[in-house]
Amino acid sequence: MAYSDKVLDHYENPRNVGTLDKNDPHVGTGMVGAPACGDVMKLQIKVNDSGIIEDAKFKTYGCGSAIASSSLVTEWLKGKTLDQAAEIKNSAIAEELALPPVKIHCSVLAEDAIKAAVADLKSKQPA
């Protein structure tokens, strides 16, 4: 399988690997995928008091494209509002990483992870 240089770079040097305190009210956690399908992504975002994402961390079990997709979105998420974050589309991820067609589902999973993390955070915040 020939990967783009960007995938290889994220795979070799993943950005923002780690874990945030999931019980922190400023932290939203999204976990998507299933081990049986060969990929599980955990994405966490932390917002400051003005609602801006100031930190993002991930852990991913999956192929190189899945690791690269989640690594990339942690870079993109920082500095965005929750609404801006929810607008990140899988097509943009796939395009940035030049994912081959059989790996598009990795970018879909990353988009789902963002949505899940945002939803988790919103559910924690007072309406």
Partner 1 sequence: MTVKTPIYLDYSATTPVDPRVAEKMIPYITEHFGNPASRSHPFGWTAEQAVEEARDEVAKLVNADPREIVWTSGATESNNLAIKGAANFYSGTKGKHIITVQTEHKAVIDTVRELERQGFTATYLAPEPNGLIDLEKFKAAIQPDTVLASVMFVNNEIGVIQDITAIGNICRENNIIFHVDAAQATGKVEIDLEKLPVDLMSFSAHKTYGPKGIGALYVRRKPRIRIEAQMHGGGHERGMRSGTLATHQIVGMGEAFRIARLEMKAENLEVRRLRDRLLAGLEEIDEVYVNGDMQHRVPHNLNISFNFVEGESLIMAVKDIAVSSGSACTSASLEPSYVLRALGRSDELAHSSIRFSIGRFTTEEDVDYTIALMKSKIGKLRELSPLWEMHLDGVDLSKVEWAAH
What residues line the site for partner 1 (CB under 8 A)? 1, 3, 11, 14, 17, 19, 31-42, 59-64, 66-67, 102, 105, 108-109, 112
Catalytic residue, from 32, 93, 106, 118: name it: 106
Q: Which is nearer to partner 1, 9 or 81 (CB)?
A: 9
Q: Which is nearer to partner 1, 14 or 26 (CB)?
A: 14
Catalytic residue, from 22, 37, 75, 98: name it: 37
State the nearest-atom distance from the C-beta of 3 to partner 1, in Å. 8
State the nearest-atom distance from the C-beta of 95 to partner 1, in Å. 21
State the nearest-atom distance from the C-beta of 56 to partner 1, in Å. 15
Phi-psi region of 79 (alpha: psi -120 to 50; beta: other; left: phi over 0): left
Residue 82 to residue 123: CA distance in whole angstroms: 12
Residue 109 to residue 101: CA distance in whole angstroms: 14
Residue 35 to residue 26: CA distance in whole angstroms: 28
Is 63 known to be catalytic?
A: no
- The residue type at 43: L
Is 106 known to be catalytic?
A: yes
What is the Cα gyration radius of the chain?
A: 14
Residue 90 to residue 73: CA distance in whole angstroms: 10
State the nearest-atom distance from the C-beta of 87 to partner 1, in Å. 21
Active site residues: 37, 106
